[in-house]
Amino acid sequence: VRLIGVGERVEPRWLVRRERIERRSRRIAANNVGFVTGRGAKVVLLVNALHFLRPGEAERLAAMPPGIGRQVPVVRAAARRADVVVVPCDEMAERVASALPSITGRLRVRHHPITVRLGRKVNGDRPYVLFPSLPAAHKNATANLSLLTEAIERSGAGLIIKVTAVAESIGPLARHPQVDAIGAQSLEEMDLLLSGATATYAPTVIESFGYPVGEARAAGVPALAVDTARNREIGGGALVGFRDGDVESLARAVESLAQVPAEPDPAPFEADAYFSWLTAL
């Protein structure tokens, strides 16, 4: 396996160079770096639901990332040129098929690979919910954090929230007694945090997959997430669902955490199986 383009910006000059040097039997590209020329099977991975929004969904987002509007036609053109289009869940397949009916027969669903290295909970640490928050406006992290703090207060659970955001990015919530803004963490630190968590919190609805939900399932940690078909598919028995934006529903979900069996289930996200399958296409 050869990886090319890691750490590089996608620019016309880079794409031309890639087309010239990479003409092997199997080529795999992510999203908007699909193929223009070349021989052999062309496989494209579609990993961003924002490129395949349903009517009315854009209005639900606090903001859209810059450049998404320009990316959409490029990503969809890359998908049309591919021999196989891989998506990470059934809902993403439905999104793509709705936008590009002509490629429905070329769609393949395969969950993203996930590797979680479990550690030990730090003695004396207060019970906490881990909120892996990304610094992206469309994730609406501040409103979702506010919803969780209120739900925990109503539940009386006594949990704190470890959120991977810097204090400046969440405003007054950084001073809330239940909030611990720990900032960005390394992969190793995230594994340790996940191992010791009472639950993870994954409140966003518009996703192509939902890594926090899958990671919680792999680690055997309950996942507080909106009760959707996608989260039921990815979260399995780890999902503790609640209604989107409903604080009472979330409070009941928090109250039920102690009854959720914590059994690690990494099999759906096994990396060797994923990459063996992908390279055999």
> Could you read off the pLDDT of 58-87 as tens digits, one per residue?
887 777 777 888 889 888 988 898 889 999
Mean pLDDT of 96-106: 96
Give the model's pLDDT for residue 222.
Answer: 96
With CA atoms as reference, report the closest residue to 86 among 207, 233, 208. 208
Contact 49, 206 (CB under 8 A): yes
CA 86, distance to chain mean position in Å, is 16
Kindly report the average pLDDT of the chain as a whole number.
87
Give the model's pLDDT for residue 22.
Answer: 55
Give the model's pLDDT for residue 33.
Answer: 55
Give the model's pLDDT for residue 61.
Answer: 77
35 pLDDT higher than 70: no
Give the model's pLDDT for residue 15.
Answer: 65
Decide the pairing of beta strands 84-87 and 160-163: unpaired
Contacts of 225 (CB under 8 A, 6+ apart): 201, 202, 203, 210, 212, 213, 231, 235, 239, 240, 241, 242
> Could you read off the pLDDT of 117-168 as tens digits, one per residue?
876 655 556 899 999 997 777 788 899 999 999 999 999 999 999 999 999 9
Using pLDDT thresholds of 50, 70 and 90, give the confidence band for residue 26: low
Please give the DSSP secondary-structure letter assigned to residue 244: T
Using pLDDT thresholds of 50, 70 and 90, give the confidence band for residue 24: low
261 pLDDT higher than 90: no
Give the model's pLDDT for residue 21.
Answer: 58
Mean pLDDT of 212-233: 96
Mean pLDDT of 105-117: 94
Q: What is the 3-state secondary structure (H, E, C) of 122-187?
A: CCCCCCEEEECCCCCHHHCHHHHHHHHHHHHHHHCCCCEEEECCCHHHHHHHHHCCCEEECCCCCH
Mean pLDDT of 255-262: 87
d(CA 13, CA 76): 21
Mean pLDDT of 255-266: 89
Percent pLDDT > 70 in the chain is: 85
By three-state DSSP, how is residue 44 classified?
strand
Residue count (the chain): 281
Using pLDDT thresholds of 50, 70 and 90, give the confidence band for residue 27: low
